[in-house]
Amino acid sequence: MATDHAQTARWQDDLLPHIIDRLARERPDGIYGLWPVAPDSYAAGFRTVTYAQLANAVNGLAWWLVQHLGPSQQSRVLAYVGPNDVRLVALGLAAIKAGYTVGAVVPRHGSLTLFLTSPRNSPAAHRALFESLECRTLVTTDPTPPSALPILEAVNPTQLTAPSVDDVLGISYPPYVYEKTFQEARWDPLFIIHTSGSTGLPKPLIWTQETGARQHNLSAREPPDGGPSIDSFCHGERVLVTLPPFHGAGLAQYLMNAVPFGNIAIAPAAVGIATAEGLVDALKQTPASIAVLVPSVVAELAQNPDLLDYCAAHLKMILYIGGDLPQAIGDRVAAKVRLRCQWGASEVGIPQQLMPPELGPMDWRYIRFHPSVGAFFDEVTDGAYELVIRRDEARTDTQPAFSVRGQDQLKEYRTRDLFERHPTVPDAWCWRARADDIIVFLNGEKTNPVSMEQHVVASNPELSGAIVIGAQRFQAALLIEPTSEKGIQDTAEPAALVERVWKSVQEANQAAPAHARVEKALILVTYPDRPLIRAGKGTIQRSASLAQYTAEIDRLYANADLALEDDVAASLVDPTDVEETAVFIRDTVQSITGWQGLDESVDFFAHGMDSLQALQLTRVLRRGLRRNDLALSTVYKNSTVAQLNAAILARHEGADDADILASLLSTYRGLIHQMEKPPQLDRAKAGVVDVVLTGSTGTLGTYMLRSLLGRAGIGHVYCLNRAEDGGRSAQAGRFAAANLPSDGLADRVTFLHADLAHPTLGLDKTTYETLRAQVGIVIHNAWPVNFNLGLSAFRPQLVGLVNLFALSAAAAPRAMRIVFISSVGAVGGRPAAAGPAPDAVLESLDTPSPNGYARSKFLSELFCDTAARHLGIAVAIARVGQVAGPVRQSGMWNRAEWLPSLVVSSIHLGCLPDSLGPQFSEVDWIPSDLLADVVVDLASLWGISPGAHVFNLRNPHTTAWNALLPTIQSTVQAGLGQLLEVVPSDVWLSRLQESIAATNRGGEDALAAAAVVNPAIKLLDFYRYGLWAREVASQQMTVEHALVSQTLRDMPPVSDAWMRQWVEEWIGARGLKSG
């Protein structure tokens, strides 16, 4: 079935019109493509179009354009609206010959090319596209397609009627000579397509002749391992394409794949939407090896065994593109016929994607990009990586992204598409969501809603769409859309629909993170007169759809505060009755969590309560106790029945902070003193030492693990993490994302699933004994960074630290040293007049910053000192100051942190603050990769001393914030063409507050969008009350003991080069590169 005309080397660096003319001369009868004879069915069969016919049609339409418009003397744009037939492709190529650029508007759902404006575009979108391209002419067919009428009304262009298909193919035309060479025309327009407009009005994209050439070059690259790629699998095959040709992927099939590689494109019917039944009807009329489908057609096949069986018997492979498929649906199809996802984007083309043999049939969602693509994955949230195409001068001929008009000067293109790493196959990725889809709740938690939405829709045939809501809210809600056949008929129907759908929502909740689960009271049904708004390719446009329901969503959340679904909350409680209130709290907690026999002293969060359950508890208590002033933070800070009861009754208010600290200090010091003091052991440094590293999968943990593996004196490393696989898969992802060498990761590291709060760390007896006997150093890095939690919530971490002391005390035959990673927050509450914090453990209970995280670190330092003195073990405290981004390896300084957020928001505000306040204007930051080396240096450098040995870790060589300002300004100006002024900090803060006020007027979607380019809006309180507060504690520290580390001694101050690197990375992540 395959053809053999592909001569890729011969046709590289050539223009499509020339290639087609050459094929018409050399292989005139070679088949280019097939189109259905009838516009609305396949019953009449297909019309075959040869290369001789295609070249003739191009010549005829070129002469026709010149006849009606005259020879083109300047850049002009044409739009085309017509049925899906050969004229669409031929007109675009004819326009190139005649000197015009063509955009296409076709009477089908979707959007892309020739200057595509989708029939689903609004009049405003049509006007915006035509105006931005200065398009004044619309080519249509006879009769005028209905989809052209709204465009004619909205834009009022000059209308031309194209010749019929019979005239285009049946009449012989003289050649229209096109003499431009590739070098002369490589940056000329090829076709114009437009974005889907999912986040606003669609924007035109101009593909150049260079774009076509680079796509050709990339598809022609041999797979590096000799295995197949999706492109090579398709070369020379008959490919049934259900995508409209004006869709970017569809256009690629008709031009970049068919012409140079000999693929025979088989077109869908011109009228109607592609269906599984139509696919089979087409296959019954003409054979095909491969079908390129939209996901909805694949989903239909999964529901119809007969149609699926027919496709399995007649196709080698099904490719889907343009959306996502639920796993269960795809699995049904993949069990019968090879199924693969193909990823592409209008802005980057369709990168060559490999089919590694390690991927099984059910790994159909996963892809691996060819190295020539220049694909990188930047982690943006836990487990979600944004695909970034980075310019590589050695690969420019295979990077179409940097040939699209307006993108040719970019250093990288951030796709905004998020992928997930395969759990076992290296460098295999599956698409998970658009970055715009990610929901950021008001408490900072994030979720990808796509899986829940897919499950709910796939499980309910009476639903056509669903959107999870939650941006800038405390919890998620769900908007569901009934199919048109199941539209809401009466006022009782929405509630009945919710009941029918609820089971699938519960199933989706089980797979969702706890903070992203949906309550029944937070499900909203769309109205028949306000369907969800979709882009041309059928995907739901979130922002536009939610904007229709702003008032209803606000009411939904407001009513949820009053809705009590269980019997526990049905009656009011006397808030002055101690016993009754305690019973009410306990019963409510048990009802929400499903726990039984809850003791009044059990900590909710240590027992597994999540943020959503805490919110639900707060709501029920507000209503049941008639305490509308009850804050969520009260639950966080008083996380047992007894504490919460006391706080609510205003009889104890959770106890004085100093009393809590003193109580915990007494309790855990008592536990340490109960341990038996170990015998004196050999402390010689000679020989190779094995290491335990907790929390290895975080940023600092990752760099510490790499540093350990690079040290000659380090043997085996045991990584203790909470993940079921001990963090193995996450660690591989972290190493890959940071471009760290992975040597030693497989043979010198053991990943262990651990629960440090368990007496034996959650390990089996054999493993625990191995650590006791083999390990010489423990680096304890695992600690949750959550400033919302009260001190009591850190009890599991405090217990875990004590359990590590017990492991060290039991070590034999060699001593076991412990390095505890602390924080400058542990000494952050000291008044500025006290001066810098010394390299010493400080006992005063007012030493830490006033939050549970800092206080837990402070207590831990005291416990380290107690353990060192009582047990005689070697304990070191690494008290870490401000950590910056890496400077030697890949990886970005997390732009959600306060300093990156400040700089990114400064770009939005147009100004930089002249000061970082009394705490931070002296810049003593340590890059994270260098900090890791310092910690590993110190792990074996200190000697035994009474008590814990404290190392204050900050950069000993400082610079000033105002000395870095010119570098920030010049980097932003070079990258964005924007000059930032330097203003007093109070002016900067005022402008930030004004931007927040302006954003608030736009609703929750505006807030979510604003946070991307103006992330400081989420940290206003920190800047106002922490960074620039008039009276603020000192967080500076002396640096003496740590200077035994040569890495720290030799560390230069934060340089212009480092600052430039960080700012360039933030600009790239912000998605506002120039060009």
State the Cα angle at 498 between 493 and 504, rounded to 5°: 145
Tokens of 842: 């400080």
Structure-derived torsion over alpha carbons of residues 526, 529, 534, 537, reported in degrees to the nearest 10? 120
Sign of the four-CA dihedral 910, 916, 921, 926 = negative
> 168 to each of 62, 79, 94, 669, how far by Cα in Å?
11, 19, 12, 91
> Hey, is 538 helix, strand or coil?
coil
pLDDT tens digits along 410-444: 999 999 899 999 988 889 999 988 877 778 675 55
Residue 109 has a pLDDT of 27
Higher pLDDT, 513 or 967: 967
Report the share of the chain in percent with pLDDT over 70. Answer: 86
Q: Which residue has the tokens 């002419």?
A: 137
What pLDDT score does 629 carry? 61
pLDDT digits (tens, 9 = 90+) for 165-224: 999 999 999 999 888 889 988 998 898 988 766 555 678 889 999 999 999 999 999 888
The 10 Å CB-count burial string (b at 16+, else e) for 562-599 is eebeeebbeeebebeeeeebbebbbbbbebbbeeeebe
User: For residue 309, what are the contacts with CB-CB under 8 A and spacing of at least 6?
Assistant: 336
Grouping H, G, I as helix, E, B as strand and the rest as coil, residue 481 is strand
Query: pLDDT per residue over 24-57, tens digit each?
Result: 999 999 999 999 998 888 999 999 999 999 999 9
pLDDT of residue 655: 42
Selected residue with higher pLDDT from 529 and 772:
772
On the question of pLDDT at 686 being above 90, the answer is no
Contact in structure between 539 and 545 (CB atoms under 8 Å) = no
By C-alpha distance, which of 102, 60, 249 is closest to 188?
Answer: 102
Nearest 5°: the CA angle 770, 771, 776 is: 125
| pLDDT at 776 exceeding the cut of 90 | yes
Phi-psi region of 893 (alpha: psi -120 to 50; beta: other; left: phi over 0): beta
Q: Transcribe 943-964 into DSSP letters.
A: PP-SSPEEEEES-SS-EEHHHH
Q: What is the pLDDT of residue 76?
A: 83
Residue 742 has phi, psi (to 5 degrees) of: -100, 10
* Owner of token pair 């600052």: 1059
Per-residue confidence (pLDDT) for residue 683, from 0 to 100: 56
pLDDT exceeds 60 at position 863: yes
Tens of pLDDT, residue by residue over 453-483, are 988 998 888 998 999 998 767 788 999 999 8
| CATH classification number, 689-880, choose in 3.40.50.720, 3.10.20.30, 3.40.50.1220, 3.40.50.2000 | 3.40.50.720
List of residues 6+ apart from 685 with CB closer than 8 A: 940
Report pLDDT digits (tens) over 533-585: 876 566 788 877 888 888 888 888 877 655 444 433 445 676 667 788 888 99
What is the spatial distance between Cα 625 and Cα 615, in angstroms, rounded to a whole number?
A: 15
Amino acid at 585: I
Which one is the CATH code of 438-560: 3.40.50.11900, 3.40.120.10, 1.10.10.10, 3.30.300.30?
3.30.300.30
Q: Which residues contact 503 (CB under 8 A, 6 or more apart)?
A: 459
The 3-state DSSP class for residue 680 equals: coil
At 91-150, the pLDDT tens digits run: 999 999 888 555 544 332 222 235 756 666 667 778 888 988 888 899 999 998 888 888
Q: Are strands 875-880 and 817-823 parallel, antiparallel or unpaired?
A: parallel
Q: Are strands 366-369 and 429-434 parallel, antiparallel or unpaired?
A: antiparallel
Query: Largest Cα–Cα distance in the chain?
Result: 101
CB atoms within 10 A of CB 811: 20
Q: What's the confidence (pLDDT) of residue 970? A: 96
pLDDT at res. 566: 41
Domain formed by 567-655, architecture: Orthogonal Bundle (1.10)
d(CA 30, CA 262): 9
Residue where the block lists tokens 């002249």: 914
**Helical packing angle, 898-909 and 1003-1013, nearest 10°:** 110
C-alpha distances in angstroms, 862 versus 248, 344, 694? 62, 55, 20
Categorize the per-residue pLDDT at 981 as very low, low, confident or very high, splitting at 50, 70 and 90. Answer: very high
- Cα radius of gyration rounded to whole Å, the chain: 32
pLDDT computed for residue 442 by the predictor? 56
User: How many angstroms separate the CA atoms of 759 and 810, rounded?
Assistant: 12
How far apart (Å, rounded) are the C-alpha atoms in residues 798 and 606? 12
Residue partners of 966: CB distance under 8 A and separation at least 6: none
Looking at residue 561, what is its pLDDT? 55
Two tokens at 453?
Answer: 């939405």
3-class SS at 971?
helix
DSSP 1023: I
**Per-residue confidence (pLDDT) for residue 120, from 0 to 100:** 61
Q: Are 155 and 226 in contact (CB under 8 A)?
A: no
What ranges do the domains of the chain cover?
438-560, 567-655, 689-880, 898-924+960-1070
What is the token pair recorded at 578? 């101690």
Q: Contact 320/339 with Cβ under 8 angstroms? A: yes
pLDDT tens, position by position, 296-355: 789 889 889 999 999 999 999 999 998 788 787 888 899 999 999 999 998 999 999 999
Confidence of residue 1013 (pLDDT cuts 50, 70, 90): confident
